[in-house]
């Protein structure tokens, strides 16, 4: 058989914890091979073993039939293995080209020949359909572009086996389409791909075969043409998964959030929230649907105090919060599940327990007379970890050691548990497995049923349609339509999000 990679009976331990227990994965030449498993199942760990970041305790790796020891990423590179990580590893202040050549600089008389490098980057990017500006600074380009840089980096090093760890979790629907096209081009150019994703639709669409792991153990490998999303979900979770969340009719009461005529500029000084009005009532979930870049990120940052606004009003329970600090906003009863969990959600080098009390550590029962009560803090963490099924070796583990999805579950647990009157959830289920998504949707609806106001922002139209009681469509910094999810469909929403008015979109106005 023509396998380019064989990982045979791999075992990886972290202390007493077994993250990979006897896992086998074989990659055929020219295939897209999906790797599926719940949050914390051990996918990233297994791929980090293949990329030489971790040494396995047992098992064998063969590359093109030959047994190898991949002692570090340079060895992996030399074997033709490249990896696009779940959390990017780029240097923000460097340009695209500088990042791509880092560690592989071409020199001319001892100096880096940047012109030649830029030319090479241009050539590779054209060949694989990966448009980027070689001279742009990383901090100035979009997440989708940064991902392309990561891909180019592996190609520049001559990789023909590419590992993608949840590449679509951080992308918008349009960028996902583009990435799928890029994957197809890579295969056509003779590459082989391992793709980690929680989106079963993507597996069905792009992958040839799929290996499933559950709680560190291999469950098996299936041909994608012979399976379906339901089967994949139950293989991975070990039970049936419900894709549509049941909920009763909302019984909204008074306004909790009232945004009036809000104007916010983005980091470049451009007005991106442009006289926006929005209300969310007690007992309802309002979903914001919009194409990325229409002001949704800045709107959330403005409400939560992370960004200064120019003018307008933001009231929660009648209290004006305009340009107050994040702590003041939190204390006024606002919870926030942030879009960027590393920047605004967690302190990665703190234990997960301390991360669970980031907003209220200075209050009773976590603090008494200015002294932290660690017993109370650890008790709280234990409870949240069990209630929200955060899979971690212990509550003392650093947040950094948790899998991406479990970091997300920890933040959601902390924010929901504070029981805020207004819960703002920005891309809350990003990077979560289907079982965890089901659970989180239930909890959002439960908050609603307890009379809380929930504002949901998501690029997943399925999620918006399933969970919201009202949908507010944002376009060029304004709410241009409010629609009832029962009376709309993805097509109409798509048109509204692209700026056509409701009549044109075919709705009953």
Ligand X SMILES: Nc1ncnc2c1ncn2[C@@H]1O[C@H](COP(=O)(O)OP(=O)(O)OP(=O)(O)O)[C@@H](O)[C@H]1O
Taking CB under 6 A as the rule, does residue 355 contact ligand X?
Answer: no
- CA nearest 439: which of 158, 195, 239? 239
For residue 362, what are the CA distances in angstroms to 367, 369, 370, 371, 494?
5, 9, 7, 8, 45
**Under the criterion CB under 6 A, does residue 40 sit at the interface with ligand X?**
yes
Is residue 345 involved in binding ligand X (CB under 6 A)? no
Should residue 281 be labelled a site residue for ligand X when binding is judged by CB under 6 A?
no
What x/- string results for residues 422 through 461 when contact with ligand X is judged by CB under 6 A? ----------------------------------------
Residue 402 binds which of Mg ion, ligand X, none (CB < 5-8 A, kind-dependent)? ligand X
Binding pattern for the stretch 18-37 against ligand X, x by CB under 6 A and - elsewhere: -x-----------------x
Site track 77-106 with ligand X (rule: CB under 6 A), x = hit = ---------x--------------------
List of E strands, 230-380: 255-265, 271-281, 284-289, 311-316, 319-320, 334-337, 367-368, 371-372
Nearest distance from C-beta of residue 145 to ligand X, angstroms = 23
Contact 438, 241 (CB under 8 A): yes
Among the listed ranges 99-107, 328-336, 404-412, 475-483, the one in contact with ligand X (CB under 6 A) is: 404-412
In angstroms, give the least distance from the CB of 408 to ligand X.
8
C-beta nearest to ligand X: residue: 405
403 binds ligand X (CB under 6 A): yes
| By the rule CB under 6 A, 42 interacts with ligand X | yes
- CA 282, 491, 298, 151 dihedral sign is positive
Closer of 385 and 497 to ligand X (Cβ): 385
Give the separation between CA 126 and CA 121, rounded to whole angstroms: 9
Q: What share of the chain is helix, strand, coil (3-state, %, to 5)?
A: 35, 25, 40
Q: How far apart are CA 337 and CA 416, in angstroms?
A: 9
Cα dist from 262 to 277, 284, 293, 299, 423, whole Å: 7, 22, 17, 8, 19
**Contacting residues for 292 by C-beta, under 8 A, at least 6 apart:** 172, 174, 459
Of 170-178, 288-296, 339-347, 399-407, the window that binds ligand X (rule: CB under 6 A) is 399-407
**What SS3 state is found at 103?**
coil
Considering the rule CB under 5 A, would residue 44 count as an interface residue with Mg ion?
Answer: yes
Work out which of 406, 466, 468, 488 binds ligand X, going by CB under 6 A.
Answer: 406
The footprint of Mg ion (CB under 5 A) covers 44, 403-404
The footprint of ligand X (CB under 6 A) covers 14, 17, 19, 37, 39-45, 86, 391-393, 401-406
């Amino acid at each position: 058989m023509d396998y380019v990679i064989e990982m045979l009976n791999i075992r990886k331990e972290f202390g007493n914890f077994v993250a990979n227990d006897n896992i086998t994965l074989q990659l055929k030449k020219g295939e897209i091979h999906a790797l599926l498993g719940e949050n914390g199942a051990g996918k990233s760990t297994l791929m980090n073993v293949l990329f030489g970041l971790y040494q396995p305790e047992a098992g064998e790796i063969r590359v093109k039939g030959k047994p190898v020891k991949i002692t570090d990423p340079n060895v992996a590179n030399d074997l033709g293995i490249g990896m696009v990580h779940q959390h990017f590893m780029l240097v923000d202040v460097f340009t695209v080209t500088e990042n791509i050549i880092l560690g592989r600089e071409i020199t001319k008389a001892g100096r880096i020949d940047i012109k030649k490098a830029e030319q090479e980057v241009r050539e590779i990017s054209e060949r694989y359909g990966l448009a980027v500006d070689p001279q742009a600074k990383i901090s100035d380009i979009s997440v989708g572009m940064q991902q392309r840089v990561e891909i180019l980096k592996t190609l520049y090093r001559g990789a023909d086996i590419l590992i993608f760890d949840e590449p679509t979790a951080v992308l918008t629907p349009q960028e996902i389409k583009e990435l799928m096209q890029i994957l197809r081009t890579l295969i056509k150019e003779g590459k082989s791909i391992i793709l980690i994703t929680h989106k079963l639709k993507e597996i069905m669409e792009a992958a040839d075969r799929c290996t499933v792991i559950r709680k560190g153990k291999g469950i098996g490998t299936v041909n994608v043409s012979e399976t379906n999303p339901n089967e994949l979900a139950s293989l991975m979770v070990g039970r049936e998964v419900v894709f549509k969340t049941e909920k009763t009719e909302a019984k909204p009461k008074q306004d909790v959030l009232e945004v009036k005529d809000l104007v916010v500029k983005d980091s470049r000084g451009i007005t991106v929230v442009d006289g926006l009005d929005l209300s969310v009532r007690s007992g309802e979930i309002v979903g914001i649907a919009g194409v990325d870049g229409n002001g949704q990120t800045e709107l959330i940052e403005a409400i939560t105090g992370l960004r200064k606004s120019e003018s307008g009003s933001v009231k929660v329970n009648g209290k004006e919060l305009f340009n107050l600090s994040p702590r003041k906003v939190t204390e006024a009863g606002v919870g926030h599940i942030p879009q960027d969990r590393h920047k605004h959600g967690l302190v990665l080098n703190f234990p997960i327990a301390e991360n669970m009390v980031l907003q209220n550590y200075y209050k009773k029962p976590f603090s008494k007379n200015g002294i932290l009560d660690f017993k109370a803090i650890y008790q709280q963490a234990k409870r949240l970890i069990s209630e929200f099924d955060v899979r971690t070796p212990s509550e003392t583990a650093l947040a950094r050691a948790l899998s991406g999805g479990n970091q997300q579950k920890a933040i959601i647990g902390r924010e929901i548990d504070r029981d805020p009157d207004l819960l703002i959830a920005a891309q809350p289920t990003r990077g979560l497995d289907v079982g965890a998504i089901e659970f989180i949707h239930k909890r959002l609806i439960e908050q609603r049923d307890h009379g809380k106001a929930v504002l949901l922002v998501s690029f997943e139209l399925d999620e918006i349609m399933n969970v919201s009681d009202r949908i507010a469509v944002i376009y060029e910094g304004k709410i241009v339509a409010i629609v009832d999810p029962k009376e709309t469909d993805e097509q109409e929403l798509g048109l509204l999000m692209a700026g056509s008015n409701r009549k044109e979109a075919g709705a009953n106005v």
